[in-house]
Amino acid sequence: MLLPALFLGTVGLLLVVFRGDGERRAVLVSATVALAVQSVALAAARFAPPGRQFMVWTAGAALRLVSLILYALLVVKQFGFPPVAALISLASLLFITTVSESLLLTS
């Protein structure tokens, strides 16, 4: 219960900081992307074979980085999102979920 509250709290804080219509839309799309990317990375880490967890976790970190770069180059430009709101929100949400990932992996 703590992790969904942390994610939603971060989204709420970002929505308070970024108040414009385009900025709010960018935050919500970023939250959706972060949730999808984190779900894939977490599922891969959770079901990694014994002895390969670190390698799979590293691949998940690379996936997060690549998703941020692709989001910046493709999605932000294509949809005309304000880049600061879009990238700060995605990076923040990926950071929060990555830091809290260890709680999910050990439970």
The per-residue pLDDT for range 2-50, each reduced to its tens digit, is 788 999 999 999 999 999 999 999 999 999 999 999 999 999 988 999 8
Length of the chain, in residues: 107
Q: What is the pLDDT of residue 16?
A: 98
State how far Cα 76 lies from the chain centre. Answer: 15
Burial letters 48-87, b for 16+ CB under 10 A, else e: beeeeeeeebeebeebbeebbeebbeebbeeeebbeebbb
Q: Which helix (H) or strand (E) holds 32?
A: helix 21-46
